Amino acid sequence: MKYQWILFDADETLFHFDAFAGLRLMFSRFEVDFTPLDFEQYQQVNKPLWVDYQDGKLSAKELQHIRFESWADKLAVSTQKLNSEFLKAMADICDLLPGAQELIDALHGRVNMGIITNGFTELQMVRLQRTGLAEVFDPLVISEEVGLAKPDVGIFEHALMRMNHPDKGTVLMVGDNPHSDILGGINAGLDTCWLNWRNQTKPEGIEPNYHVGSLAELQAILLA
């Protein structure tokens, strides 16, 4: 195999991230019927916050606070409580993407596997434990803990430091987001694989080494 290390994004690369289902479950525990319209309004606040977070303009705690501010006022609870309950709900519905378990099983023992994620610690740890993958990925690099988010080169450099600075030519970064995962990986000097399972249009100026539509396709390439 060409690579000694495979670094994965987490959300929508290894794990499904159905935010609407998670929010519906979370708010049902507060006896609230969370509707598609509620979700649309939530996303109007949430999506720009993630852009600012990835651009280093906002901290994880600020993002977690602002996105639930209006609901915290309505329900008379803290934003910290809502954020924690949301992450618990997301862990409760966690599910691997098709082909993820097969890929992990096929690579286990052949290559080192790590994760670099912009997600939050509370969710990442629980999901890995519940899926039995907690011992598979090392390093587990979480932006909330590092204080930098993809595509910042610094979070990739932090991962490489944790990996004892391997030859960058032996490292492949796999992710579904062409900007944070692929452009970030390219800027860090790594080979990249864009997992485009939603059949998105490739952004101009971003050229991954591999472009696949499924994890099964990636498995076939790596093990060819």
User: What residues are annotated to the active site?
Assistant: 9
**3-state class (DSSP) for residue 198:** coil
Q: Compute CA distances 147 → 30, 38, 45, 121, whole Å.
A: 31, 30, 22, 12
**3-state class (DSSP) for residue 50:** helix
How far is C-alpha 87 from the geometric centre of its chain's CA atoms? 13
* Region at 132 (left for phi over 0; alpha for psi -120 to 50; beta for the rest): left
Give the separation between CA 216 and CA 25, rounded to whole angstroms.
30
